[in-house]
Amino acid sequence: MNVILVSSRLAKSRSITLGGWQVLFLLLLFSWLVWVAAFALQYTLVRFAPEGLSDGVRTLLSKIQSEEQQKQQSYVHNSLDAMAARVGQMQAQMQRLDALGARLAKLTGMKPEEFRFDEPPAQGGPLITIPAQEMSVNGLEQQLNRLTQAVNDRGDKLLALETMLLQNQLSHKLLPSIKPVVEGFYSSNFGWRPDPFTGKNAMHEGVDFMVNAGTPILASAGGVVAYADLHPQYGNMVEVDHGNDIVTRYAHASRLLVKVGQVVRRGEKVAEVGSTGRSTGNHLHFEVRYKGIAQNPVRFLQKTAG
């Protein structure tokens, strides 16, 4: 690089030739001087402001500082509002979880005093302190997000557990589990026996309860009435479908009290004892069938007659 110097004091102009390293050195020197000047200006503003500044500069700095503070306050305020809303949502979720926990405790047969979901758990122990760590707004928001996800996950799992418990409870209610008559005794059990009319060995596909005429016949489990009419063998008979291929039959009734398609509950009166059809006297013939095959009803009943 050639630099030509021209001055009125000099008789002639002078030319200075600069190499690449010299030019680079001058650029670095210029940059350093600019940085020193900026640092000196900043130091002066910090050290001597606002006394050494003009009113215009002080006003500008005050405005910039005020705007920055407003931005920070607005950010903090908005963050607090968002976190307060999240806390409110989590409180509502906790109330739902408390109610769900109480229902689950009831379904599993737990005593109410064992789990008090409306009270904080009892806690205690020795005091062990650790150095406190400062929590930023972003850090607190991240923790709230993780906690919200954990609460939602626990809620989904508890709801799935409640569904399973309800299904098990419903399945239990749909199994023939109570005696179809309150009183009475077995006059004939399930299995092979001499036929009362022919005397030949024949299969008895149910159990007979010997009771008085007019005794209420109760549904052994909940279900839908599939048959309620006169049968040539069973006489007046009610057949209840309990789902899962399980059916119960109540035969030789004197009077039917339900109709086909009617939904009955466990223990609901469906007929009255009589001696219709192929019968030698007043009694109830009770059957339990699974996939059309007769089963021993005694295995299903919670209480058996003496």
Instruction: Give domain status of residue 157, yes or no.
Output: no
Can you give the pLDDT of all 306 residues of the chain as single tens digits?
555 655 566 556 666 665 666 666 777 777 788 877 777 766 666 665 555 556 666 676 677 777 777 777 777 777 777 777 777 777 777 777 777 777 777 766 666 555 566 666 666 777 766 665 565 667 777 777 777 777 777 777 777 766 666 666 656 667 888 899 988 778 888 999 998 888 899 999 999 999 999 999 999 999 999 999 999 999 999 999 998 889 999 999 999 999 999 999 999 999 999 999 999 999 999 999 988 999 999 888 854 443
Which residues is 251 bridged to in the sheet?
285
CA–CA gap between residue 250 and residue 264 (Å, rounded) = 14
**8-state DSSP, 283:** B
Instruction: Give domain status of residue 230, yes or no.
Output: yes
What is the number of domains present in the chain? 2
Strands, E assignment, the chain: 2-5, 14-17, 185-188, 191-194, 201-204, 207-210, 216-218, 223-231, 235-241, 246-256, 263-264, 269-273, 284-290, 293-295
pLDDT of amino acid 208: 95
Instruction: Give domain status of residue 143, yes or no.
Output: no
pLDDT of amino acid 304: 41
Instruction: Give domain status of residue 66, yes or no.
Output: no
CA–CA gap between residue 161 and residue 175 (Å, rounded) = 21
Range of the domain at 26: 2-48
Q: Assess contact for 274 and 255: CB atoms under 8 A.
A: yes
Instruction: Give domain status of residue 38, yes or no.
Output: yes
Instruction: Give domain status of residue 249, yes or no.
Output: yes
Instruction: Give domain status of residue 256, yes or no.
Output: yes
Instruction: Give domain status of residue 6, yes or no.
Output: yes
CA–CA gap between residue 185 and residue 172 (Å, rounded) = 25
CATH number of the CATH domain containing 247: 2.70.70.10
Q: Assess contact for 174 and 222: CB atoms under 8 A.
A: yes
Q: What is the pTM assigned to this prediction?
A: 0.50
